[in-house]
Structure 1
Amino acid sequence: MRIKNTSTQFGWVSIVNHWVTAVLFIGMIALGIYMGSLPKGPERSDLYDLHKSIGVIILGLFFFRLLWLKLSPNPESLSSTRFEHILAHSVKGLLYLGLVLMPLSGWVMSSSGGHDVAVFDWFVLPAIVSENEGLHEAAEEFHEILGELILPAIIVLHIAGALKHHYFYKDATLNRMVGKE
């Protein structure tokens, strides 16, 4: 398998980035929902620290993905109609937006609540905004709605599209993302 993408195949860098990001992103949604159900205490605090660290990693993977797209553009879409092509790109664009908005809204939420964003005790991000209770509550609400309602729906659409291509169209869309085509 090649490192870089070709006009018909994804390279291993894109494939690894896709699957690592997908697992982390879906795991973060589940972790966020679980954390919200916990009472305040050491377990919840430790999970919040982990959640913030992984969120920063996801944001870094997203910016790496953008750089990699400039160096190694994705293969052509295998969508069979213009509508499907537009839908696929729209869903991917919304996922990309989520990969930015979730970590950024979490960072704003932490900063406006007076909390640090430490990344695995490696470093601490500077506060992105100053403490502000109103902003904190707004960022928290945005983060929660995006993570519990909007992004799960977009992820389901993305997965449904891949499965439709694989099982109904029997094309290489899904196989390309697992390194088989």
Structure 2
Amino acid sequence: MHPADVAEHVAASVEVLRERLSERPELGAGTAVLEDDVRLYIPFTVRVRQMVDTAVPSSLLGPGGVNLAFGARVVLLGAPPEERALLLAMDLTDYDAQPPTAELLLPDRSPLPATQWPKSLDGQGVVPGHRDYDRLWFCRRGLREYHTHHEHEDDPWDRHREGLALHSVVEELLHEFSTRFIGN
């Protein structure tokens, strides 16, 4: 495919994304910005819940008959959520022959420190360690990090690319920031 055709396809996909995000204010997204035909930046606001570590008693006994407890990370219910501005940065190089990448940045476009990436209560969804990316990544279909990871070789991008538009990938990910990823 000619590079001009790819750029036109990316621009059209981003325009659909902008329209869809404007219809979904609950996602907290600002206007998507496309630079150099392949760099997409989507500002958004996320509500972050404060987390605390606590001991959960168990019926297990340790040496000397001492009751054992499990450590758990839970939401501090009395603390109000804080709003935080972030950027979802996507690389659309070779889109849609290849899926986009996605990473989180601070509003000044510097990398979001690993300790500040969102977490889910089940500890799933954000993963360290990828052969191609020296950063945390979202383990979700529709993203290059997912489809190029060795554990997902049986789920190639070509299986999804016709039915998984850019706006769907972004909307699902932004939705998870309000439903699944509750703290850091």
TM-score by length of 2: 0.24
Higher helix share: 1
User: Which structure's CA Rg is the greater one?
Assistant: 2
Higher strand share: 2
User: Which of the pair has the greater relative contact order for Cα pairs under 8 Å at 6+ separation?
Assistant: 1
